[in-house]
A = this chain, B = another copy of it.
Amino acid sequence: AGVRDRQPMDRSVDFPVSVVLPAGGTGERTGLQTPKQFCSVLGRPLISFTIQAFERVSWIQSIVVVVAKEYMDLMTDIIQRFQHKKVQVVPGGKTRHRSICNGVLALGEATREEGQMLAADRAKVVIIHDAVRPFVEEDFLYKIAMSAKEQGAAGAVRPLVSTVISTTSEGYLDHSLERAKYRASEMPQGFTYDVIHQAYQRCTESDFEFGTECLHLALQYCGTNAKLIEGPPTLWKVTYKRDLAAAESIIKETLSQSACIITGGSAQAVTLADALQKAVGALDTELDITPDLMGDNSKYLLEEWNFIQISVSHSCLSEVEAILMDLEAVNRALLHPVVVIWVHLNGLDELSVSRKMAVPAAIRDLASAAKLRNILVYGIQLHQSADTERWERSVLRVAEITSTLIRDRSPALVGQLLQA
């Protein structure tokens, strides 16, 4: 959900769509030191995930991020560091509405000033979203964009989670609302440029200060009745510290869906790979087996696979070094850490590699260097065994350790040579 789309939908949207992403919050109300949109998840600020969610949608032309003045530099750094395209940063206003309005105005100006660079035409539809809802998906954005084009305005709603009650001024129960008639208004919302632009032209200072709903302004100042569309639970807003943990867990799960075992073609390695594939199947990770990453097999480098290199006896860390070079050549670890696990299969009567002084030191050094480039390298050693039961136990342990390493992505454990 969200981070990877294996089968991206090819929506045909024949009008220009732009996005305004208000990220003006300074986090003062939440008690966190860093505003949540800038909090790091797997080494990347949350807002970068949200930007990525829009960036990968082919029919979205440009994204205007609106941030508080004191965060302009940080935001610019984030865009450079994670090589975001399509993004323009503009300073926010004192309230949420002023910030969104700045973003909408910037869309108009961009068209006039740098027209060809940003968009061929002025945006026909403007999608407004929150920086702290990183899991929005293309199909829902499509629904919002199409409805906004047709109706002038459209917004995401969700069923109410709790009963809503009204309170007396003394803090007692007055009455409770009939749940079925009400919805929670969420993001994204979509507007034709004309509607949202006009709404902000016509609304009052008081609306700018105290208003909460863009949909409401569209209704009041343009007579535009917003179409409400029920969104998926993934639209939820990262609000509390616990939500950051939830977001991290969703992202980790997405990144852990598949791994590719590289056998180098050795028969022993292929046997182990087959056994691992069976054992890991139960652990919810898809495993592909490939002899190498060359030719057609280089496709694994481009999608979001993790890597398990099986080395047999004599062969050594050079195979892992080759994967690292391939990954760097395609800039694969730019947006999130990639896991590379070196599984060393010891022969029946061979000295364990952990007892060859050079190997543990070599993998540790390799891993330290790779970690700086966002690639997490771990080692696992297992011993060939003639005892079937013992061998199966070892394979199962490799599967469990592998699965844990891929899921946890723990930076502190890189370079360890674990025993299966």
Please report A residues at the B interface, Cβ cutoff 8 Å.
Answer: 155, 157-158, 160-167, 171-173, 176-177, 179, 181-186, 212-213, 215-216, 219, 225-229, 233, 236-237, 239-240, 242-243, 245-250, 354-355, 360, 364, 397, 400-401, 403-404, 408, 410, 412-413, 416-419
CB A348 to nearest CB in B, in angstroms, measures 16
- What separation, in Å, do the CA atoms of A162 and B176 have in the docked complex? 17
CA distance A416 to B398 in the complex (A): 12
The CA of A155 and the CA of B173, in the complex, are separated in Å by 9
Q: Which residues of B contact A249 (CB under 8 A)?
A: 242, 245-246, 248-249
A interface SS class: mixed
Distance in angstroms from A272 CB to nearest chain B CB is: 18
Inter-chain CA distance A64–B402, complex, in Å, is 43
Pick the contact of A416: B239, B250, B416 (CB < 8 A): B416
A160 CA to B215 CA, complexed, in Å: 18
Q: A188: shortest Cβ distance to chain B, in Å?
A: 13
Q: Which residues of B contact A186 (CB under 8 A)?
A: 162
A354 surroundings in chain B (CB, below 8 A): 354-355, 360
Contact in complex: B167, A228 (CB < 8 Å): yes
Given A226-B173, A364-B419, A400-B412: A165 and B183 interface contact (C-beta under 8 Å)? yes
Given contacts A240-B233, A412-B403, contact A228 B161 (CB under 8 A): no
Contact call B172/A227, Cβ cutoff below 8 A: yes
Contact B417 A419 (CB under 8 A): yes
Let me know if A162 and B179 touch, CB within 8 A. Answer: no
Contact B179 A165 (CB under 8 A): no
How far apart sit A397 and B216, CA to CA, in the bound complex (Å)? 55
Provide 9 A-B residue pairs closer than 8 Å at the C-beta atoms, listed in order of the A residue.
Answer: A163-B185, A163-B213, A173-B225, A176-B212, A176-B216, A236-B240, A249-B249, A400-B412, A413-B413
Chain B residue nearest in CB terms to A147? B171
Whether B228 pairs with A171 at a CB distance below 8 angstroms is yes
Is the pair B164, A160 in contact by a Cβ cutoff of 8 Å? yes
- Taking the closest CB of chain B, its distance from the CB of A212, in whole angstroms, is 5
Contacts of A171 in B (CB 8 A): 227-229
The answer to whether residues A212 and B173 also contact, given A245-B246, A404-B413 and a CB cut-off of 8 A, is no
Additional 7 contacts, C-beta under 8 A, given A165-B184, A173-B219, A404-B410 = A163-B212, A164-B183, A171-B229, A176-B215, A242-B247, A245-B246, A246-B249
Chain B residues near A219 (CB, 8 Å)?
A: 173
Closest Cβ of chain B to A206, distance in Å, is 14
